Amino acid sequence: MQSENIRADSLPIMESAIDNTLPAVEAVSCERNTCGGIETFVKDTQSTMEKLTILSDAAKYDVACTSSGVDRKGNGKDMGNCLAAGICHSFSADGRCISLLKILLSNECIYDCKYCLNRRSNDVPRATFTPDEVCELTMNFYRRNYIEGLFLSSGIVNNPNYTMELIYATLYKLRNEYRFRGYVHVKGIPGADAMLIQKVGYLADRMSVNLELPTAEGLSRLAPNKHRKNILTPMRQIQNGITQGKQEVAIYRSAPAFVPAGQSTQMIIGATPESDYQVMAVAQGLYDNFQLKRVFYSAYVGVNNDKELPAPSTATPLLREHRLYQADWLLRFYHFRVEELLDEKRPNFNVLLDPKCDWALKHLEQFPVEINRADYHTLLRVPGIGVKSAQRICGARKSGALSFDNLKKLGVVLKRALYFITCNGKMMYRTKLEEDYITRNLLSLHEKLPFDKDGMTYRQLTLFDDSENNVALFG
């Protein structure tokens, strides 16, 4: 077995530039590591197909696959443009979108995070892409309209700086040699040098540093090599960079844009015992203080056996994840605050009702709302009225009063909204404005959930289950 050529003193740039030949048929040239760094044992016979299989499989638990947030027209010469709305190009068997070529540069890792498939102590097949392989794949996939761009993350090879340099070398090549103008989302490696983060930020559209777990205790328990401070430092740096970049672009139009699509992060849900209130409070803090574009919630999928983790047979908390996303939307587009939705006494979302309905039922004194007069923000708070229908209502009522029939055509979900609205002073049917009555009726509607079962974690209790919940249950 030979080791791949990785020099710790300089950026690893492949000497043999790949012409138009496919990386699939070309074996990666290999030399022994001479600089005393950590040897990465990778078979030189690994084809691009094998590497792609390993490194996309290793990247699949990363949630962010959005290509939104930046509008960039083509320049008439080079390949690629970006649309602010983002484009999904396919949907995998789990129903999640495939927008970007989501891969790790390498799944070698010096860390041993308990929840991660690629942790040091796991015996899994390892692989590392060369920058050229990543570029060739990106260009050829993009040209065929398979993808909207590249999502590049990596395990920690040697040390955070070295890994960030590898990522930088790849992006530099992609942008400057391959002249790619499509979308690039790149992971900031916690603990990497500020200078490197800065340089990468000018090549990427979006950057993200994963928060991994909502609280610092959870992090120190499950990811002993990562520290909250190391995660928040690059996050703050990117935030400052974006603010400064915007000012620069305002003055010099041709100034290079720094992370123009903003930054995001993700948290694993269900691996540690935080409540929904804690999770949402953290998310709100990130939106307020770090101006994040998105916070992603990733329902924990058991891949490792570990005494610190829920048993791998534990069902994935899909319903909880769904409720968190619904609440996240309420924060970002509906002007809600976490304190309105949850509190210390009620720290978790209602599993039976979506957070907005749940809120409305607790605040019946604010209803019913008159459709033809209520302002936009009040309309937004009505269950069954979304951002688009609220905008359409505001536009349409300028030219005449709206009826229930009109509302239906505008996209309002009347079966939910009818308890909370009046049109020209009348309700749609004779209904009571009473919590129990409305709850009963709303529950009989059978909320449409994006998964088959109800996503709740029913499972048989076993005596041999060492998960935290059972320990708590049985003392």
Partner 1 sequence: MEEHVLICEDSIDGILTGIYEAYQYKKDNGIDSHDWMHLAVKEPDIGRLLTCYTKIETNAEKAQKVSRTIKRELGEHTFYDLCLAMVSADAEKADAVYHTVVIGLKYHDRNVFARLGEPAVQKAFACQRGAGNELNHYRQFLRFAELESGILYAKIGARDRILPFLMPHFADRLPADNFVIYDELSGVFGLHPQYKQWYLVNGADFDEDSLVFSKAEAEYSALFTQFCESIAIEARTNPKLQMNMLPLRFRKYMVEFERRANEETLH
Residues that bind partner 1 in the complex, under the rule CB under 8 A: 22, 24-25, 48-49, 52-53, 56-57, 59-61, 73-81, 87-98, 101-102, 137, 140-141, 143-146, 299, 301-302, 316, 318, 392, 395-402, 406, 409-410, 450-452
**Shorter beta-carbon distance to partner 1: residue 30 or 396:** 396
**Shorter beta-carbon distance to partner 1: residue 39 or 306:** 306
Within 8 A by CB and 6+ apart from 167, the residues are: 105, 152, 154, 186, 187, 189, 200
DSSP secondary structure letters along 300-325: ----S--TTS--TTSPP-HHHHHHHH
Contact (CB, 8 A) for 204 and 184? yes
Smallest distance from the beta carbon of 130 to partner 1, in angstroms?
15
Smallest distance from the beta carbon of 303 to partner 1, in angstroms?
9
Q: Residue 404 carries which side chain, given as an amino acid letter?
A: F
How far is it, in rounded angstroms, from Cα 230 to Cα 235? 9
CA distances from 298 to 78, 180, 210 (A): 36, 30, 11
**Shorter beta-carbon distance to partner 1: residue 25 or 250:** 25
Q: Residue 95 carries which side chain, given as an amino acid letter?
A: G
Q: How large is the angle between the packed helices 318-333 and 355-362, nearest 10 degrees?
A: 70
Smallest distance from the beta carbon of 219 to partner 1, in angstroms?
23
Cα radius of gyration (the chain):
25
Smallest distance from the beta carbon of 83 to partner 1, in angstroms?
8
> Environment class of residue 372 by beta-carbon count within 10 Å: exposed (0-12), middle (13-18) or buried (19+)?
middle
**Shorter beta-carbon distance to partner 1: residue 61 or 325:** 61
Closest C-alpha to 136, from 177, 167, 100, 183: 177
Closest C-alpha to 286, from 273, 306, 267: 267
Smallest distance from the beta carbon of 183 to partner 1, in angstroms?
11
**Shorter beta-carbon distance to partner 1: residue 81 or 291:** 81
Smallest distance from the beta carbon of 216 to partner 1, in angstroms?
27
CA distances from 125 to 57, 120, 285 (A): 11, 12, 38
**Shorter beta-carbon distance to partner 1: residue 273 or 450:** 450
Q: Residue 194 carries which side chain, given as an amino acid letter?
A: A
Smallest distance from the beta carbon of 274 to partner 1, in angstroms?
21
Q: Residue 293 carries which side chain, given as an amino acid letter?
A: K
**Shorter beta-carbon distance to partner 1: residue 29 or 75:** 75
Smallest distance from the beta carbon of 113 to partner 1, in angstroms?
18
Smallest distance from the beta carbon of 147 to partner 1, in angstroms?
8
Smallest distance from the beta carbon of 146 to partner 1, in angstroms?
5
**Shorter beta-carbon distance to partner 1: residue 398 or 430:** 398
Within 8 A by CB and 6+ apart from 344, the residues are: 277
Q: Is 131 helix (H, G, I), strand (E, B) or coil?
A: helix
**Shorter beta-carbon distance to partner 1: residue 91 or 376:** 91
Number of residues in the chain:
475
**Shorter beta-carbon distance to partner 1: residue 400 or 475:** 400
Smallest distance from the beta carbon of 59 to partner 1, in angstroms?
7
Smallest distance from the beta carbon of 206 to partner 1, in angstroms?
18
**Shorter beta-carbon distance to partner 1: residue 194 or 394:** 394
CA dihedral 17, 20, 24, 30 (to 10 degrees): -20
**Shorter beta-carbon distance to partner 1: residue 435 or 454:** 454
> Environment class of residue 75 by beta-carbon count within 10 Å: exposed (0-12), middle (13-18) or buried (19+)?
exposed
CA distances from 99 to 143, 289, 310, 369 (A): 14, 28, 31, 39
Beta bridge partners of 91: 97
Structure tokens at 171: 């992006």
